[in-house]
Amino acid sequence: MAKILVIRLSAIGDVALTIPVLYSVARAYPDDSFTILTQIFLLPVFINRPANLDVIGINTKGPERSTRGFLRFARAYSRYDFDMVIDLHRVIRTRIISLLFRLAGKKVYGMNKARCERRRLVSQRFKVLQPLRPVTERYADVFRRAGFDFGMSFRSLFDSKPAENIFVDMFPAAKRIGIAPFAKHPGKVYPPDKMEAVIAGLSRREQVGLYLFGSRGSEQKKLEEWAARYPRTCSVAGKYSLDNELRLISNLDVLLCMDSANMHFASLVETPIVSVWGATHPFAGFYPYRRDFSRAVQLELPCRPCSIYGSKPCRRKDFACMTLLPPSKIIAMVEEELFPELDCKD
């Protein structure tokens, strides 16, 4: 029986994208054991996992944040009896852990990040606008190079155990629309005034209920303001743990979101997705698992995409990719997903 350590420390969406691969390979090799090392706050995402898949947490915002603290953790962990390391991150921290295992004579396999292809995708003068290999497939490639022959069998976190409906449902006969309007970087966030127009437009349909998703603090405050302003709208921000939030998302009829972690959470529970794209692009490989591009709302501008992760400043200074995107286009896409039998332009 082989013991395999898999490393992916961040970001939230990238860790979520490991799940289809980890669950698939673990089920294909039940006699081997797999351990994923990731941020401690992300451990609840790995629910209903195969019996031979374990999760270990690291806190790079706490005890392991300093160089000394991280090295202490890495040295201690390198003494564990793993036969192989699969590094799906390849940053300084994970390279240090991998090096310690290499020095102990263990095999280490790393991910190809396709940096050249990504640079061409975001180039302004020599842009090559074509889909890159999905990140989930790049993750799977690393396992296959390590000798694991498997197919992507994963479909949902709730395949083996259906999610209970934990909604306190204020709108019992309604179609449930989740809205997750925030992301880490400005280039991936639809302007709040325009998002409010989307919420206002969707709330006019009496047969829908809106559930607003976000984190505590300023996001929660804004969502509660919107919830108080529009009918059949409530905020669930800050009210549920991460695993229960996944259960909430699994009970939605559609999730409207940015290029963000919530988009990937929805893909892990087979919830239909309408995603809004600005500085980033679905072609970069971070599109939701097993989804086509038909529900991506975006403007075709010559400057797009300008960033793989949405962290770069806008060269135009106006974020036209978001500010010029009309709310009506987003509303129409959501209603088309919910009511395909209707003419949603009416």
Examine residue 155 and state whether it is found in any structural domain, yes or no: no
Q: Within this chain, do residues 329 and 213 fall inside the same structural domain, yes or no?
A: yes
User: Which of 11-25, 132-146, 304-318, 332-346 is predicted with the least confidence, judged by mean pLDDT?
Assistant: 332-346
* Shared domain check, 137 and 181: no
Same domain flag for 119 and 188: no
Residue 323: pLDDT over 90: yes
Residues 127 and 24 reside in one and the same domain: yes
pLDDT of amino acid 173: 72
What is the per-residue pLDDT for 308? Answer: 96
Above pLDDT 70, what percent of the chain? 97
Does residue 346 carry a pLDDT above 50? no
Burial class (CB within 10 angstroms; exposed 0-12, middle 13-18, buried 19+) of 79: exposed
The CATH code of the domain that includes 245 is: 3.40.50.2000
Provide the pLDDT for residue 49.
Answer: 96
Task: Quick: pLDDT tens for 111-138.
Answer: 999 999 999 999 999 999 999 999 999 9
What mean pLDDT do residues 73-96 have? 94
> pLDDT, tens digit, for every residue of 266-298?
999 999 999 999 999 999 999 999 999 999 999
Same domain, 180 and 320: yes
Q: Are 264 and 13 spatial neighbours (Cβ–Cβ below 8 Å)? A: yes
Domain-terminating residue out of 145, 167, 185:
145
- Is residue 152 domain-resident? no
| Buried-exposed string 154-179: b where 16+ CB fall within 10 A, e elsewhere | bebbbeeeebeeebeeebeebbbbbb
Domain limits at 93?
3-145
Band (pLDDT 50/70/90 cuts) for residue 163 is confident
Contact 38, 16 (CB under 8 A): no
Shared domain for 83 and 122, answered yes or no, is: yes
Query: Would the pLDDT of 168 be above 80?
Result: no
Q: Do 187 and 123 belong to one domain?
A: no
Same domain, 51 and 92: yes
* Domain-located, residue 156: no
Domain count along the chain: 2
> pLDDT at position 343, please?
60
pLDDT tens per residue across span 193-214: 999 999 999 999 999 999 999 9
From 145, 167, 183, give the residue that closes a domain: 145
Q: Within this chain, do residues 209 and 297 fall inside the same structural domain, yes or no?
A: yes
In a shared domain, residues 187 and 330? yes
Confidence (pLDDT) at 235 = 96
153 domain residue, yes or no: no
Residue 157 lies in a domain: no
- 209 and 290, same domain (yes or no): yes
Mean pLDDT of 340-344: 68
User: Which residues neighbour 276 within 8 Å (Cβ) at sequence distance 6 or greater?
Assistant: 190, 256, 257, 258, 259, 297, 298, 322, 325, 330
Q: What is the pTM of this model?
A: 0.95
Average pLDDT of the segment spanning 308-318 = 94
DSSP state of 162: P
Is residue 304 one of the residues assigned to a domain? Answer: yes
Phi and psi torsions of 157, nearest 5°: -65, -20
Same domain, residue pair 202 and 325 = yes
| Residue 168 falls inside a structural domain | no
Of 107, 126, 145, the domain-final residue: 145
**pLDDT-derived band of residue 162, with 50, 70 and 90 as boundaries?**
confident
